[in-house]
Structure 1
Amino acid sequence: MKKIDDLIASATSIHDRYKAGRMERETVREWVLGLGGYPAPYAEPLSEAAAWFRPLRDLEPDALKVVDLEKLKAVADAGAVDQRIDLSLGRSR
């Protein structure tokens, strides 16, 4: 569980620092591409983030940052989404 907690804390911190302009995109890119494997529900958003960050993108910087931030937020929020699904399924039983 500590590994997951560390991932969530790191993804949130990196998202916030990048959003505030205190971190360069290349640093974010290297962090995402350096992550190892994680179990569901984190595997899919991490895979999508890695696929997004792997190639260098030739987009307008503001548009690029919007998508970058969406990918980071999806990683940080993956567990919360999974918990909400579990809770809603539990109520319907």
Structure 2
Amino acid sequence: MNSQDICWYTRRNELEPGQVFRCQGSVVKLDNRVAGDGTKWNVLDWHDGWCSWGSEIEPGDLEGTPMQDDRAVIAAALALKPASPSELVEPCAPE
């Protein structure tokens, strides 16, 4: 399994506030868990800096491994070509 094949839904207990991930074509920073929900996270969105717009994600939406919270690293991640439909993998489902 390579780093792009990580299913964060099944490894959701390893997630921590402050971790930065690619997520559905953007970059998000885990802020805190959604109150009353066992899996969802409140996240900050990257828009040339961190913005709090009330976004929530499921761990299965996260892509790859956590990256550095660094402007250059994030810019490079955003410049990556999104996967073509033939490269997309079914999102991981709850067990």
TM-score, normalising length from structure 1? 0.30
TM-score normalized by the length of structure 2: 0.29
Question: Hey, which of these two has a bigger chunk of helix by percent?
Answer: 1
Q: RCO (CA 8 Å, sep 6+): is it higher in 1 or 2?
A: 1
Which has the larger strand fraction?
2
